[in-house]
């Protein structure tokens, strides 16, 4: 049997325990050209919250009654497709379930000997690619510049900061709690970290960015975006990657009150969606894998076990009760 | 004697009649290297409101007790500077007064035979340059694209829309009132106009921009910026030139609640300040003068007479009770 988390309704605000229903269905038969994949790990991402809203966005919303959408990595256990023979490990949109049948479109093979499987849905997967292309192509940091990243201990933010260090920037991470801030400085090599829960964001930003902010990679929106806007330099680049502080709002999203700092500083704020860079994932993964091997880049996964624990794990995305990339292990 | 409008205090919200004081001072003597300019016309611009706030911005604030800053055009009536002989007409930061002494730095000569003097502080001056560089260098419109401009009947907006037409774009102007909308369509050749005072901005935008918005040139901020954000296309460019709806706020500026449309659409919002393009004003003025001569570009000035009427004229910037570029005539 195939355990699946089915979307039962469109949540308002933070999803509750009845937003998904764990159901068991028979494992489907495969037809010619298809493969059956046994999923090992499921990627949990803040973006999943947006996929549940019935609005026009960069991707179709998940329909009520469908398996919850998620990136996954697993193994082909039956194959009628020469490109993905039995025994192949691969990554793709498998959804929050134990097994998936696919014709292989959008899936790509991965090598579990080169990196642990969860890393293929983390640093070498969508979050890593988001960090890589968002920072380098949209943020365009130059050596010596000051780069600030929010959600800095998360799957995307932790990679953004490390790549900025590799590129010779001064890097300040904003995260929630002392443990995360210590982790950024002591393990990932950030120059400084700001614990936004301490409540003196403006003072800390001023102290830790004495030369102002050249690139701000924003994962959170809200008051943190507004605070950083008061510290940007001339021609600063703000990468809008996400706004996790606003995803569960039941009222209007808080727009950046200080957006006229863009005018004063001739700065820009630009949105990015990782899917646009799909044709270049390969070369980015090669470069990132090199950095991982030489220890310039560190990857951390926070693994929660069991598909039945999907809801509890999902909440950790918003409570912040995790470090690094959150993945759900579903292999028994 | 030299009549001057002196800033008496920093206004909170909309300036009132006691924000400036009309004073008379003796006309100063000039020293070697200086000239005395008799001012003919003073430029009134929404940006003046920002110059009165004691905040870090793209230009130093006007100090209390000083002559109010303003762009001007006038005639050299005494000269001890070979570069600006007596009889030269020139434009520069003369301030809200009848006479100014300067060493000529930042002033440039103009030819009253080629264009009426007020045009040198309008279409061929700062507002025109703002429109030209903001649209072409930041907005980067391509033929066939849809360009929306707010404050469309104003000094900057009216030129933005006409240049966009020259570049082969579809142009929609947003303005307040039927007369202004008629003017945009019938006299300036805009494809469509939206009267925001009618209160159905979203519906009108949808109807008049069936292919979405590629470039939005924003002079107003507030609810209009938010409405246009819901209609932008992939890779849209939003030029942040001003936010007149927010300049007299006594509470926090309204940030754009719909800014995550930048993410969904991989779009950017970029601030601009015309002063950055000073080295290229000359070539822009030549091109704009050519368009004026061939009738491709129309320039309209709204002239208020008398330096004692400065305050009443200033209010027209925010009440919208004017069409085109607002100038104060101070020549007796």
The CATH number that applies at residue A318 is: 3.90.180.10
Instruction: Report yes or no on A97 lying in a domain.
Output: yes
Residues B145 and B106 in one domain: no
CA distances from A314 to A72, A127, A242, A310 (A): 15, 16, 17, 6
Dist. CA B190–CA B160, nearest whole Å: 11
Q: What is the CA radius of gyration of chain A?
A: 20
**Phi first, then psi: what are they for A174, rounded to 5°?**
-110, 125
Instruction: Report yes or no on B285 lying in a domain.
Output: no
Rounded percentage of chain A residues whose pLDDT exceeds 70: 100
Instruction: Report yes or no on A99 lying in a domain.
Output: yes
Residues A112 and A133 in one domain: no
Instruction: Please count the residue pairs, one from chain A and one from chain B, whose beta carbons lie less than 8 angstroms apart.
Output: 107
Examine the pLDDT at B16 and tell me if it is beyond 90: yes
Residues B100 and B141 in one domain: no
Write out chain B residues lying below 8 Å of A56, CB-based.
Answer: 264
The verdict on A113 touching B (C-beta cutoff 8 Å) is no
Instruction: Report yes or no on B10 lying in a domain.
Output: yes
> What mean pLDDT is predicted for residues A83-91?
97
Looking at residue B251, its pLDDT comes to 87
Looking at residue B186, its pLDDT comes to 98
For testing the chain A interface, which of B268, B276, B277, B278 should be mutated: the one with the most A CBs within 10 Å? B268
Label each residue of chain B as H, E or C.
CEEEEEECCCCCCCCCCCCEEEEEECCCCCCCCCEEEEEEEEECCCHHHHHCCCCCCCCCCCCCCCECCCCEEEEEEEECCCCCCCCCEEEECCCCECEEEECCCCCEEECCCCCCHHHHHCCCCHHHHHHHHHHHHHHCCCCCCEEEEECCCECCHHHHHHHHHHCCCEEEEEECCHHHHHHHHHHCCCCEEEEHHHCCHHHHHHHHCCCCEEEEEECCCHHHHHHHHCCEEEEEEEEECCCHHHCCCCCCCCCCCCCCHHHHCCCEEEECCHHHHHHHHHHHHHHHHHHHHCCCCCCCEEEEECHHHHHHHHHHHHHCCCCEEEEEECCC
Is B259 within 8 Å of A246 when comparing Cβ atoms?
Answer: no
Instruction: Report yes or no on B291 lying in a domain.
Output: no
* B277-B280-B286 Cα angle (round to 5): 130
* Residues B10/B294, Cβ–Cβ less than 8 Å: no
**pTM of the predicted structure, to 2 decimals:** 0.94
What tokens does B239 get?
């030029």
Residues A140 and A222 in one domain: yes
Alpha-carbon distance A263 to nearest alpha carbon in chain B (angstroms): 4
For testing the chain B interface, which of A130, A268, A273, A275 should be mutated: the one with the most B CBs within 10 Å? A268
Looking at residue A251, its pLDDT comes to 87
Structural domains in chain A (count): 2
Looking at residue A319, its pLDDT comes to 94
The verdict on B255 touching A (C-beta cutoff 8 Å) is yes
Dist. CA A313–CA B140, nearest whole Å: 45
Instruction: Report yes or no on A284 lying in a domain.
Output: no
Q: What is the dihedral of CA A142, A148, A154, A159, to 10 degrees?
A: 10
Rounded percentage of chain B residues whose pLDDT exceeds 70: 100
Looking at residue A56, its pLDDT comes to 86
Residues B30 and B42 in one domain: yes
> What mean pLDDT is predicted for residues A187-200?
96
Looking at residue A94, its pLDDT comes to 97
Residues A157 and A223 in one domain: yes
Q: How far is CA B274 from the centre of its chain?
A: 10
Q: How far is CA A273 from the centre of its chain?
A: 11
Alpha-carbon distance A210 to nearest alpha carbon in chain B (angstroms): 16
Residue A169 banded pLDDT, cuts 50, 70, 90: very high
Q: Give the helix/strand (H/E) hosting A7.
A: strand A2-7
> What mean pLDDT is predicted for residues A90-103?
97
Q: Give the helix/strand (H/E) hosting A110.
A: strand A108-110
Residue among A118, A116, A119, A152 nearest A135 (CA):
A152
* Residues A48/A314, Cβ–Cβ less than 8 Å: yes
CATH number for the domain including A214?
3.40.50.720
Instruction: Report yes or no on A280 lying in a domain.
Output: no
In sequence order, the 6+-apart residues with CB closer than 8 A to the CB of B231 are B148, B205, B206, B209, B212, B213
Residues A110 and A130 in one domain: no
Looking at residue A226, its pLDDT comes to 97
Looking at residue A199, its pLDDT comes to 85
Residues A38 and A134 in one domain: no
The verdict on B184 touching A (C-beta cutoff 8 Å) is no
Residue B322 banded pLDDT, cuts 50, 70, 90: very high
Looking at residue B291, its pLDDT comes to 97
Residues A135 and A105 in one domain: no
Write out chain A residues lying below 8 Å of B229, CB-based.
Answer: none
In sequence order, the 6+-apart residues with CB closer than 8 A to the CB of A215 are A135, A139, A140, A141, A145, A146, A147, A148, A164, A169, A236, A237, A238, A239
Residues A109 and A138 in one domain: no
Looking at residue A283, its pLDDT comes to 94
Average pLDDT, chain A: 96
CA distances from B93 to A97, A161, B10 (A): 69, 45, 20
Looking at residue B215, its pLDDT comes to 98
Strand pairing report for A325-329 and A301-305:
parallel
Task: Report pLDDT digits (tens) over B112-157.
Answer: 999 999 999 999 999 999 999 999 999 999 999 999 999 999 999 9
In sequence order, the 6+-apart residues with CB closer than 8 A to the CB of B247 are B46, B49, B50, B318
Dist. CA A43–CA A210, nearest whole Å: 37
For testing the chain B interface, which of A61, A218, A232, A270 should be mutated: the one with the most B CBs within 10 Å? A270
| Phi/psi-derived region of residue A20, left when phi > 0, alpha when psi is between -120 and 50, beta in every other case | beta
ipTM score: 0.93
Helix, strand or coil, per DSSP, at residue A136: helix
What tokens does B162 get?
């006409």
Residue B95 banded pLDDT, cuts 50, 70, 90: very high
The domain in which residue A213 lies consists of 126-275
Task: Report pLDDT digits (tens) over A250-288.
Answer: 888 999 999 999 999 999 999 999 999 999 999 999 999
Is B240 within 8 Å of A221 when comparing Cβ atoms?
Answer: no
Dist. CA A70–CA A89, nearest whole Å: 17
> What mean pLDDT is predicted for residues A189-216?
97
Write out chain B residues lying below 8 Å of A259, CB-based.
Answer: 240, 253, 255-256, 259, 269
DSSP state of A9: S
Strand pairing report for A99-102 and A146-150:
unpaired
Dist. CA A101–CA B318, nearest whole Å: 62
Residues A154 and A218 in one domain: yes
Residue among A160, A144, A187, A157 nearest A295 (CA):
A187
Task: Report pLDDT digits (tens) over A282-318.
Answer: 999 999 999 999 999 999 999 999 999 999 999 999 9
Looking at residue B81, its pLDDT comes to 97
What tokens does B310 get?
């400065």
Examine the pLDDT at A332 and tell me if it is beyond 80: no
- Measured between CA atoms, the residue of chain B closest to residue A58 is B264
Looking at residue A191, its pLDDT comes to 98
Instruction: Report yes or no on B142 lying in a domain.
Output: yes
Residue B56 banded pLDDT, cuts 50, 70, 90: confident
Residue among A71, A93, A81 nearest A31 (CA):
A81
Residues A109 and A131 in one domain: no
* Residues A317/A326, Cβ–Cβ less than 8 Å: yes
């Amino acid at each position: 049997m195939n355990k699946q988390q089915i979307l039962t309704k469109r949540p308002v605000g933070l999803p509750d325990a009845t937003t998904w229903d764990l159901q068991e269905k028979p494992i489907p038969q495969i037809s010619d050209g298809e493969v059956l994949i046994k999923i090992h790990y499921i990627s949990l991402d803040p973006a999943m919250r947006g996929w549940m809203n019935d609005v026009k966005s960069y991707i179709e919303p998940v329909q009520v009654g469908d398996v919850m959408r998620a990136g996954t990595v697993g193994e082909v256990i039956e194959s009628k497709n020469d490109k993905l023979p039995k025994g192949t490990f691969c990554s793709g949109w498998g959804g929050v379930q134990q097994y998936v049948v696919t014709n292989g479109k959008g899936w790509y093979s991965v090598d579990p000997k080169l990196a642990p499987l969860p890393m293929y849905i983390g640093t070498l997967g969508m979050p890593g690619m988001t960090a890589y292309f968002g920072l380098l192509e949209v943020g365009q940091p130059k050596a010596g510049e000051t780069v600030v990243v929010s959600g800095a201990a998360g799957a995307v933010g932790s990679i953004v900061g490390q790549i900025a260090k590799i590129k010779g920037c001064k890097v300040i991470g904003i995260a929630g709690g002392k443990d995360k801030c210590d982790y950024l400085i002591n393990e990932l090599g950030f120059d400084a970290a700001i614990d936004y829960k301490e409540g003196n964001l403006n003072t800390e930003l001023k102290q830790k960015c004495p030369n102002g902010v050249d690139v701000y990679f924003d994962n959170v929106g809200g008051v943190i975006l507004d605070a950083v806007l008061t510290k940007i330099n001339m021609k600063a680049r703000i990468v809008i990657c996400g706004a996790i502080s606003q995803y569960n709002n039941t009222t209007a999203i808080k727009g950046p009150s200080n957006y006229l700092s863009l005018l004063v500083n001739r700065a820009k704020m630009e949105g990015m969606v990782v899917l646009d860079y799909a044709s270049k994932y390969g070369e980015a993964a090669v470069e990132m894998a090199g950095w991982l091997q030489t220890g310039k880049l560190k990857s951390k996964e926070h693994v929660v076990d069991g598909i039945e624990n999907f809801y509890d794990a999902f909440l950790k995305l918003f409570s912040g009760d995790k470090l690094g990339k959150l993945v759900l292990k579903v292999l028994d």
